Amino acid sequence: MKVSGKVFKYGDNIDTDVIIPARYLTSADPEHLKEHCMEDIDISFKDRVKPGDIMVAGKNFGCGSSREHAPVAIKASGISLVIADDFARIFYRNSINVGLPILECPEAAQKINDGDEIEADFDTGIITDKTTGESFASKPFPEFIKNIMANGGLVGYTESELKD
Amino acid sequence: MPMTMTQKILADHAGLDSVAPGDLIEAKLDYVLGNDVTTPPAIKVFEKLGVKNVFDKDRVLMIQDHFTPNKDIKSAELNKTMRCFAREHEITHYYELGRKEMGIEHVILPDNGIVLPGDLVIGADSHTCTYGALGSFSTGVGSTDLACAMARGVTWFKVPEAIKVNLRGTLKKFVTGKDLILTIIGKIGVDGALYKSLEFDGEGIKALSMDGRLTVCNMAIECGAKNGIFPVDDVTLKYISKTNLERFAKNSYKVYTADEDAEYSQVLDIDLDDIDLTVALPHLPSNTKKASECIDMKIDQVVIGSCTNGRLEDIGTAAAILKGQKVHKDVRCIVIPGSQKVYRQALDNGWLKDLDDAGCVISTPTCGPCLGGHMGVLAKGERCVSTTNRNFVGRMGDPESEVILSGVPVAASSAILGRIGTPDEL
C-alpha cells in the first residue's frame, strides 16, 4: 500500500492541545474535529489540506493529553500519513487504533521540506521525496498493523477478524 | 532475570514469572476508568463491538470531571451518554456531582481507597499515571483501548525500560513535589522518559508526603513517561490505612520492591536540598526557571487546583499563605478543591473562609480551566500562574494567552503580589 501527497511540516513536541484544542472536545464527530485541526498553530491548515497530504514533524509528536480525538482529527482532515522523529506513546497507540498511519524516521523528518511532494510505501517502509529526489528507509509495518490500517482501525480490524 | 517494580507488577498481572523491556504482554487489569470527554467515544466503540456487559461493574469507573458541572448543551449531552450507560450497566463507581465520593478522577481514586499498592490500572486520561505514588502501575490510554478493556478487563502492554530517580536529602520550606517534578522535566525534557517508567527511590522519598508523591507521579507523563512509581513505605501504609481500612486490615494489597540488581537505562541522582521554588514558563513544562528569577512577570489570573495540585495539603497551603492577605487588585484567584471530600474538609478547617476573605473565588471540583474548558478561560494576551500540569499553546484559552506552571506556594504568593513571587516576599 502506497500513499502520496504534499507535506505539511511542523516542529518538535506538537501536542494534542494544538492538534485539537480542548474547547472543541464537546463532540467526538470527525467532521466537527477536522474543522479545528491544528488551528492554534496553523490557522490555514484546514483550508489548505487535501486528501492524501502528509504531515511531517520532529520529536515527541502527539505529546500531552490522551484524547483520541487528536489522531481522529488529523485523519478526518485527509492526512494519509504522519512522519516524525518519534511519537508520544499514547498518541502512537491511539493512531494505530483509529487507523491513522504513522512512521518513525528521524532522517526523513529532518530533510523533508514543507510543501514537498512525497510518497511512502507501507510494505517496504521507503519514503521518497519526489521534490528533492531523496529516499529514506523506515521500519515497515508488520502484517497485523497493515491489516488494522486497511480496516480503518482496531474496531474494523477486530470485526473482520471475528468474521474470518 | 532481575526486575524493576513496574516490570514485576506487569509480570504478575500477565501471569508470567518474569518480563524484560520490550516484551509484549497481555495483562489483567484491576481498574479501568474514563471521564466525560473520553468515555462517550469509548461507549460508541463498546456498542459497535456488540458486547453486552462490562467485564466487572465494580472495576470499570466513570468519572464526570472535565466539563462538569456541564458548561454547555454539547457537554451535557456527552455526560448524559456516560450517565445512561453507567445506570444501565450499574457501574458502582459512577457518582453524581456533589456526592461525598465525587471529584476529579485522579484525586478521588487514591483518596477514596479504590487504588491500592500493586494494582494495575489504565484510564482514558493521560494523568492516570498519578497512582504510581501508591506503588501501583497506572497509565493513560485512548478511548478505543478503554472500550476493549471495558469489555475484557485485559489489555496489551510493551514492557518499559526504566529510569531510576534516586532522591536524597530533604526539601526546603515551601518547596514541594511539584518543584521536584518540574525540575526533573526541566532536566530531561518533555520526551526525556519517552516510553519508559520513572522509578523513584532513595532515602529522600521520606521527605515527600503522599499528596506530594501523587503530584510527582501525576506529571510523569509530561516527560513522556509511561508511568511513575514510588516504593511502598510507612507513608504509603499510613495513607491506605485511612483511605481503605478494610482492605488494609485484610492485607489485600501487594507490595512490590525492585530487585537490587534491576537494570535502568539511566539513573538520575537528585539532592532535594538543591531544589528551589520552580516555575515552567510558556509553552512547555520543561521550560523551567527558578521562581525568584521571574519576579518581574505580571499576571492576570491564578488557578489553584486540578488533578496535580487540588488535594487537601494543597488547599491547606494556599489558605495558610492567603490568610489575612488580599488577592492583588488586578488578579482573580480561582481555587478548586479537587474533590467533594477535600472541599468539605477545607470548609470544616476554616480554610475556605480564609480564602474567601482574601478575595479568592472558590469553585466546585472540576478540571475546568486546566484544559481551557470553563471556570477560568484566558483571553488573548492574558497570563496565568497555575498549579496545573500543562502550559501548551492555547491550553487555558486563547492561543495568545500564557500559562506558567508552579506549585501552590508560588501560585498563592503570586496571587497576592500580582506577579510571580515567592512566600518569602510576603
Q: What is the domain-level CATH number for residue B395?
A: 3.30.499.10
Q: How confident is the model at residue A158 (pLDDT cuts 50, 70, 90)?
A: confident
pLDDT given at position B287 = 98
The boundaries of the domain holding residue B173 are 5-270
B74 vs A13, A27, A65: nearest CB: A27
| The domain boundary residue, chosen from B270, B294, B318 | B270
Q: Does A145 touch chain B (CB under 8 A)?
A: no
Number of structural domains in chain B: 2
Side chain identity at B230, as an amino acid letter?
Answer: F
Instruction: Tally the domains of chain A.
Output: 1
Same domain? For B252 and B292 the reply is no
B281 and B236 part of one domain? no
CATH number at residue A143: 3.20.19.10
The residue of A87, A90, A92, A155 whose CB has the most chain B CBs within 10 angstroms, and thus the best one to mutate to test that interface, is A90
Task: Name the nearest CA neighbour of B264 among B17, B24, B3.
Answer: B3
Q: Is A15 on the interface with B (CB under 8 A)?
A: yes
Give yes or no: residues B237 and B312 share one domain.
no
In angstroms, rounded to a whole number, what is the distance separating the alpha carbons of residues B269 and B164? Answer: 8
Domain with A36, as residue range(s), is 2-163
Domain termination residue (choose one: B216, B250, B270): B270
Find out whether A64 and B116 touch, Cβ atoms under 8 Å.
no
| pTM given for the model | 0.96
pLDDT in tens, B212-258: 999 999 999 999 999 999 999 999 999 999 999 998 999 889 999 99
Domain boundary residue, one of B249, B270, B291: B270
Q: Is A147 on the interface with B (CB under 8 A)?
A: no
| Whether residues B283 and B250 fall in one domain | no
pLDDT at position A19 is 98
Q: Decide if B191 touches A, using CB distance below 8 A.
A: yes
With an 8 Å Cβ cutoff, are B75 and A66 in contact? Answer: no
Percent with pLDDT over 90 in chain B: 96
Q: Are residues B293 and B311 in the same domain?
A: yes
- Cα separation of B32 and A49, whole Å? 37
Q: How confident is the model over B294-336, as pLDDT tens digits?
A: 999 999 999 999 999 999 999 999 999 999 999 999 999 999 9
**A26 touching chain B per CB within 8 A:** yes
Model confidence band, residue A156 (pLDDT cutoffs 50, 70, 90): confident
Please give the pLDDT value at position B223. Answer: 98
Residue B247 shares a structural domain with residue B328:
no
Considering the domain architecture, whether residues B315 and B236 belong to the same structural domain is answered as: no
Suggest the residue from B371, B380, B388 to mutate for an interface test with chain A (most A CBs closer than 10 A).
B371
* Of residues B205, B224, B324, the one with CA closest to residue B266: B224
In this structure, are B197 and B304 located in the same domain? Answer: no
Q: How far is B76 from chain A, CA to nearest CA, in Å?
A: 9
Residue B408: half-sphere exposure toward Cβ, Cα within 13 Å: 29
- With an 8 Å Cβ cutoff, are A26 and B392 in contact? no
Give how far B37 is from chain A: nearest CA, Å: 7
Cα A125 to its chain centre, rounded Å, is 15
Which residues of chain B have a pLDDT value below 50? none
- Indicate yes or no: CB of A89 within 8 angstroms of CB of B194: yes
Residues B307, B185 within the same domain? no
Q: Does residue B256 sit in the same domain as residue B350?
A: no
Is the bond preceding B285 in cis, omega lying within 30 degrees of 0? no
Q: Which residue of B has its CA nearest to A22?
A: B371
Q: Are B144 and A21 within 8 A, CB to CB?
A: no
Question: Which residue's C-alpha cell is 466539563?
Answer: B67
Which residues of B fall within a CB distance of 8 Å from A23?
Answer: 372-373, 377
- With beta carbons under 8 A apart, name residues in chain A contacting B140: 66, 90
Q: Does any CB of chain B come closer than 8 Å to the CB of residue A58?
A: no
How far is the C-alpha of B286 from the C-alpha of A75, rounded, in Å? 29
Interface with A, mutate which of B6, B33, B121, B143 (most A CBs under 10 A)? B143
Please report the number of interchain residue pairs, chain A to chain B, with beta-carbon separation below 8 angstroms: 116
What's the order of all strands across the beta sheet hosting B162-168?
B227-229, B197-201, B162-168, B266-271
- Give A-chain residues touching B66 at CB under 8 angstroms: 22, 25
User: b/e per residue, A117-130, with b = 16+ CB within 10 A?
Assistant: ebbbebeeebbbbe
- The rounded distance, in Å, linking the Cα atoms of B332 and B303 is 9
B332 and B350 share a domain?
yes
Residues B121 and B234 both lie in one domain: yes
Predicted pLDDT at A148: 87
B403 touches chain A (CB under 8 A): no
- At B74 the pLDDT is 97
| Cβ-Cβ contacts under 8 Å, B34 against chain A | none
Cβ–Cβ gap A158/B49 under 8 Å: yes
Find the CB nearest A59 among B126, B191, B390.
Answer: B191
**A 76-135 residues with CB below 8 A of B?**
86, 88-90, 93-94, 97-98
The complex's ipTM works out to 0.92
Tens of pLDDT, residue by residue over A119-148, are 999 999 999 999 999 999 998 888 888 888
The whole-chain average pLDDT of chain A stands at: 95
Any A CB within 8 A of B22 CB: no
- Which of B143, B145, B392 lies closest to A64 in CB terms? B392
Tell whether the model's pLDDT for residue A108 goes beyond 80: yes
- Asked if B124 is an interface residue toward chain A (Cβ–Cβ < 8 A), one would say yes
